[in-house]
Amino acid sequence: MKNSTARHPANLLISTIMLFLFSAFLLLALKDFEARGFLMVLLVPLIFFVATVFIPRLFPADQLLLCLINFLCALGVLVLYRMNPKQGLDQAVNYGIGVFAMILCILFVRFIRHWKPMIMILALASLLLMALPLLFGVERNGARAWVTLLGLGFQPSELVKVALLIIEAYLLSQRKIVWAGSFAGLCLLLLMLQKDLGTALIYYGVTLIMVFAATRSYLYLGLGAIGAAAGGVLGYNMYSHVKVRVRIWIDPWYDYSGAGYQIVQSLIAMVNGGVWGLGLGLGNAYEIPAFTTDFVFSIILNEFGLIFGVFVVLIYVLLFLRSIAVAMRSGSRVNTLLALGASALIALQTFVIIGGNIKLIPLTGVTLPFISYGGSSLISSLCIMGLLQGVASINEDEVKVDQALARAEDFA
């Protein structure tokens, strides 16, 4: 009876989310009355169920974290399918692949015992991946960050985020500050050459947070802040598209039919949504050119309203707090840094893109984790959460061992 009661809140949350997803996709399916719509009614709730119920049966896991992460992923598929059915179906496939990749990352953290032999290989492979856009890349929105291989387009810097966390966590846990800084510096140099300053900001911020957590040195923190300011000034003076983004942040109406068109249409869409939203399937935000990537949060506000948008932001906040709790409970230095880096990366990227959407900060070309369209973005975000879940899983194992020892002592 006690175990059943303990599981009840999680089961209730899972059931509520599945009912929401089933109802929402059913409404869209009945609206268009297409076969793929009815396929989504079953497919997305099924993936959500597998990711939140099946994974904890494989090994110990933080089920609340799983619920939060997968709700955001499923919400992203829902919004994308509503705006562009083909992209929504593609994202559902990416979601399934991402869940499998997350499981592999959980297993990696749970069972890896010797990190050192793979770190050098992983670092070299990461730098080679980061160099690909400079050789074979395609420029989009001022940044040369995309590569197309065998007909598949992907952003190498999204995949390297996962490696960055692993490499930095290991090197910093061994107090190899110079090596950790050197690897991060090379990544930042390649991102600057790609003109991908949004991603460079995230790499820099996460590395600085991890270095400070590992060293507790305010000197490094101060130097890092100075370096960030210098990098911002350098990027502003070197790249014309950065100057344009700062200008439209200050006044998007100065060129509302040109450079400021996207942010103007985004603000209009959010205002049109009001408190309660226009309703699923009734939104009018098609005028935003990048509505499935950079401005997907604006679509959520347009169709679901301000209250739901605040609810989504609170989910990200809860996700961050829960992730920090996982890091603090870890008994291993490398796992603590890994969990901290994962939580900081998702939080920083979320702040950067939502802040850009609501004109709190200049807009950068990064995606909203778990929700924006893009296979490489979604899969890398789920892999990062897989690393975090791996640490949470080890924490649960340690708790069970402690409980067993306590029972043994009581029995003795």
Q: Which has the higher per-residue pLDDT, 283 or 187?
A: 187
Does 218 have pLDDT greater than 60?
yes
Q: What is the mean pLDDT of residues 332-358?
A: 94
Residue percentage of the chain with pLDDT more than 90: 54
Does 145 have pLDDT greater than 90?
no
Q: Tell which residue, 283, 268, 279, 286, has the closest CA to residue 359.
A: 268
Helix (H) or strand (E) holding 282: none
Does 361 have pLDDT greater than 60?
yes
- Please spell the DSSP secondary structure of 356-386, one letter per residue: HHTTSS---S-PPTTTSS-HHHHHHHHHHHH
Query: What pLDDT is stored for residue 364 in this prediction?
Result: 81
DSSP 84: -
- Assign 8 a pLDDT band (cuts: 50, 70, 90): low
Residue percentage of the chain with pLDDT more than 70: 92
How many alpha carbons fall within 13 Å on the CB side of residue 389?
A: 32
Does 366 have pLDDT greater than 90?
no
Spell out the SS3 assignment of 292-323.
Answer: CCCCHHHHHHHHHCHHHHHHHHHHHHHHHHHH
- Residues 144 and 157: their CA atoms lie apart, in Å, by 11
One-letter amino acid for residue 206 of the chain: V
Query: What pLDDT is stored for residue 255 in this prediction?
Result: 67
- Determine which of 47-51, 307-311, 364-368, 396-400 has the lowest per-residue pLDDT on average: 396-400
Does 211 have pLDDT greater than 80?
yes
Q: Tell which residue, 222, 247, 292, has the closest CA to residue 80.
A: 292
Q: What is the mean pLDDT of residues 371-388?
A: 93
Burial class (CB in 10 A: 0-12, 13-18, 19+), 151: exposed
Note the Cα 73 to chain centre separation in Å: 10
Q: What is the mean pLDDT of residues 182-195?
A: 91
Average pLDDT, whole number, for the chain?
88
Q: 370: which 2 tokens?
A: 């778990």
- Please spell the DSSP secondary structure of 48-66, one letter per residue: HHIIIIIHHHHS---HHHH
Which residue has tokens 């692993």? 166
Three-state DSSP class for residue 144 = strand
- Residues 361 and 354: their CA atoms lie apart, in Å, by 9
Helix (H) or strand (E) holding 146: strand 143-149
- Assign 6 a pLDDT band (cuts: 50, 70, 90): very low
Q: Which has the higher per-residue pLDDT, 245 or 378?
A: 378
Longest dimension (CA), the chain: 78
Q: Tell which residue, 286, 241, 282, has the closest CA to residue 268.
A: 286
Helix (H) or strand (E) holding 28: helix 2-32
Which residue has tokens 């990366």? 345
Query: 99 CB contacts (<8 Å, ≥6 apart)?
Result: 47, 50, 51, 70, 382
Q: What is the mean pLDDT of residues 8-37?
A: 88
Does 3 have pLDDT greater than 70?
no
- Please spell the DSSP secondary structure of 201-255, one letter per residue: HHHHHHHHHHHHHHH--HHHHHHHHHHHHHHHHHHHHH-HHHHHHHHHHH-GGGG
Does 322 have pLDDT greater than 90?
yes
Does 42 have pLDDT greater than 50?
yes
φ, ψ (nearest 5 deg) of residue 145: -120, 0
φ, ψ (nearest 5 deg) of residue 137: -75, 165
- Residues 143 and 284: their CA atoms lie apart, in Å, by 29
74 φ/ψ sector (left φ>0, alpha ψ -120 to 50, else beta): alpha
The 10s digit of each residue's pLDDT in 246-296 is 888 888 877 666 777 888 888 888 999 899 999 888 888 877 887 788 889
Query: What pLDDT is stored for residue 5 in this prediction?
Result: 43
Neighbour tally for 18: CB within 10 Å: 19
Does 406 have pLDDT greater than 70?
no
Query: 39 CB contacts (<8 Å, ≥6 apart)?
Result: 89
- Assign 412 a pLDDT band (cuts: 50, 70, 90): low
Q: What is the mean pLDDT of residues 52-71?
A: 91
Q: What is the mean pLDDT of residues 222-228?
A: 88
- Assign 307 a pLDDT band (cuts: 50, 70, 90): very high
